[in-house]
Chains A and B, each alone.
Chain A
Amino acid sequence: MLNVSHLTKKYHRFVANQNLSFIVNDGETAVLAGPNGAGKSTAIKCIAGLLRFEGEIEICGYNNKSIEAKKILGYVPEIPAPFELLTVWEHMEFIARAYGLEDWEDKAKELMRRLELTDKKDKLGKELSKGMQQKISICCALLIQPRLVLFDEPLVGLDPHAIKELKAMLGELKAGGTTIIISTHMLESVEDIWDKVFIMMNGKIEAERTRKFVEESGENLEELFFNITEKKQTGADNT
């Protein structure tokens, strides 16, 4: 479970996230949606413990910067950053060692097989394309079998097979009770998997919807998204 309470992130005078509060339960998939510069990636990085912030963030009851929280957190950054001089397989080994994982090899092989990295296992990080690097990031994040996993624009740069496989993986994680947070500005890419959506604009959550609510009310999510984001961009009032 993820509990974000009054999260505010400022860069000097610029407020990137303003008083964000939300809860995502076990087995739920939440989407942080919004245009470029809405503050999605900043929020994700705050949750991952990479940025300083005001407010509280708890992962399964632990402070997000505690070692206990780090043990159960997986993070897939927007820009993949593999180690240039480590092979694909060594990335798996490094994560396993750093997180103190036992009997991880089969899981690593399975992840690599599903994301078509098996034949690249002896390739160095610097020899891989952006898409391949993104696949390594996903494997590293999922190898630890996280209770919370953060995806920052996960589908950008992936090939169709990997997108299909990642969506299947997300389904399995969800079924296993993992909390999933996905940041994206492409709503259609996550339409099959979301349970909650937070539409962000100018660092704030402007609207929050559950799948149940949208299905019962017949509200068009895409329309809501554009209503909020386009009105704000043109300076019109939004409530």
Chain B
Amino acid sequence: MNAIAYLLRKTVKNEILDTLRHPLKFLLYAFVAVSMLYGAIRGYTAGDELGNSEIFSDPRLLSGAYMAVLFFISIPIMLKGLSSGTSFFSLSDVNNMFVAPVSPKRVLIYGIGRQLASMLVLVVTFAAYGGMIIRMFDVSVSQATILIVGIALMLVMVQLITLMIFCLASMHPVRARVMKYGIYAMAFFALGTVIVYSFATGISVEHIFTAISLPMLEYIPFVGWMHGLVFGMMEGDTVRMLVFGILTMITAGGSLLTLKLTKLDFYEDVLSQAESYQEFREAVREGKFSDKVMMGNKQIKLRKTGIRKGKGGAAIFYKHLLEGSRRSRFLFFNINTFVLLFVAFVIGFGIKQAKPDIEPTIIYLAAMVILAYVQFFFSASGDWVKELTKPYIYLIPDGAVKKLVMAAATGIIKPFTDGAITFAALFVLVGGHPIDAIVAALTYGSFGTMYIAANILAQRLVGIDSTGGIFITFYMSMIVLTLLPGVVIGLVVLSSFAGSFGYIAATLLGAPLMIWNMIVSAGIFIACRNLLNNTE
């Protein structure tokens, strides 16, 4: 029997059986599937009840967003292909299949095929958004279907392209470097074109929309071609459809031909990558994030050495500062800060352009809510979460509350510094009342403390050793439960005083919420101090 077919068959069968044997997992999958199906059906069948704004129904926005999605799903996979097919294989594949008498080409096709299967989930997710696309952009069901099929096709294409890249770059460092620069060039060309055009014509929503839908972007290999093919079909432009269709087919054919003609020996390349990927997968599965899995093989230059301060539980805090300075030279100012600044800029600029006479306080309110949501994703891999995975915090002879607070301290400080930087920038951009900016920053910071407190509460209730899915469900429930009263109080204050102090709406909502967050968080820290009594 063909070993690969057997492996695939058994894997699928056992995955299904395993899901059925775990009712909670099954229910979770069923819930997600039903929600997505409901969302999709509702979207495809509902009318215009949610209302369209002129900005969001602009077809140029759809074109630009679609291009961005194509880039988003293609570039990372292609780059991975260069760095020796990291995610194609698990460590069990390496240990069992690589040593088996199976052709390396078949093994590679198996790896890529499996990767493709996992990417289908992404297509299903996009399909669920089909309804939203129809409502927002006023496209027909068949056009929305073309968009989704286009994404599926791009996923297949990107795997084939990755295969070609991998065949050509494997064991040829110079070629690999050239291809890497080529892939970066594609992304930078697209981004550069949009930025240069926007600045050259004067920044406005109108010009940005024109920039993101420029026809020249469709000349970017692979991604642009797919965009051209899909939008050619949608718009009934036969020439565009044929040109980009043929280019796409040539790419697919070239990839397959390359695979046939190349003598592959990629096992050594894959080995170490598969090991670190295995660690990463396990860490994500268990909800445990270590620096090793998050940073991979990134080289760290030692500048300052030594913890230098702290005694007992406080040593944990100073250790975190040292570790933080090794992750980012500027300690609390890192990539997350840039992301927040970018999101704040988009919110501030977008709303200002759409409604120039809007009160700045509304922008602060919107930014506070959206950035707090973004922060949730950053909080998952905080220092204190990593600390719980090591035995030392449980063994250190010091008070439980002190250890807990010290372990969480960097995670508490970071959102406040991010908030200060981001809302200061927003203040420069949109103006408004300084109190509003300060309270919005503090409220944003208090969300960080609350996320940690909710995490502590969830750990206390379901146990540190609980599996990822169950924990995440509890964690999110705890966030909702702990935040909700604060939000309600904030809304009551806002509605009570909006008449007289409407120009500082962000303060009216934010101040009570911030006070609530800090008081409840402190209560949770004290109530859950026994968390560090054991690792369970």
Contacts and interface: CB of A to CB of B under 8 A. Distances in A.
Given A85-B300, A87-B302, A97-B315, A70 B397 contact: yes
Contacts of A75: 391, 395
A52 B389 CA distance: 17
B183 to A, nearest CB: 28
A115 to B, nearest CB: 19
Interface string A99-136: 11000000000000000000000101010000000000
Contact of A90 (B295, B322, B390, B398): B322
Interface in B515-533: 533
A65 B533 contact: yes
Interface stretch (B115-123, B254-262, B303-311): B303-311
A81 B389 contact: yes
A230 interface: no
Contacts of B290: 84
A85 B326 contact: yes
Interface stretch (A43-51, A162-170, A219-227): A43-51
B535 A89 contact: no
A86 B302 contact: no
B400 to A, nearest CB: 9
A94 B395 CA distance: 13
Contacts of B392: 94-95, 98, 140
Contacts of A122: 302, 305
Given A98-B312, A124-B300, A50 B307 contact: no
Contact of B306 (A50, A73, A93, A124): A93
A77 B391 contact: yes
Interface string A15-54: 0000000000000000000000000000001001111100
A86 B395 contact: no
B536 interface: yes
A51 B398 contact: no
Contacts of A83: 291, 319, 323, 390
A67 interface: yes
A86 B322 contact: yes
Chain B interface size, under 10 / 10 to 19 / 20 to 34 / 35 or more: 35 or more
A126 B292 CA distance: 6
A99 to B, nearest CB: 6
B366 to A, nearest CB: 36
Interface string A58-94: 0000000101101101010100010111110110011
Contact of B307 (A67, A68, A90, A100): A90
A52 B391 contact: no
B394 interface: yes
Interface of A: 45, 48-52, 65, 67-68, 70-71, 73, 75, 77, 81, 83-87, 89-90, 93-95, 97-100, 122, 124, 126, 140
28 contacts: A45-B535, A48-B391, A48-B395, A49-B533, A50-B394, A50-B534, A50-B535, A51-B534, A51-B535, A51-B536, A52-B534, A77-B391, A83-B390, A84-B295, A85-B326, A85-B327, A86-B319, A90-B306, A94-B315, A94-B392, A98-B315, A98-B316, A98-B392, A98-B397, A100-B397, A122-B302, A124-B300, A126-B291
Given A67-B399, A75-B391, A95-B392, 9 more contacts: A49-B395, A70-B396, A73-B395, A77-B391, A81-B390, A85-B291, A89-B305, A90-B305, A126-B292
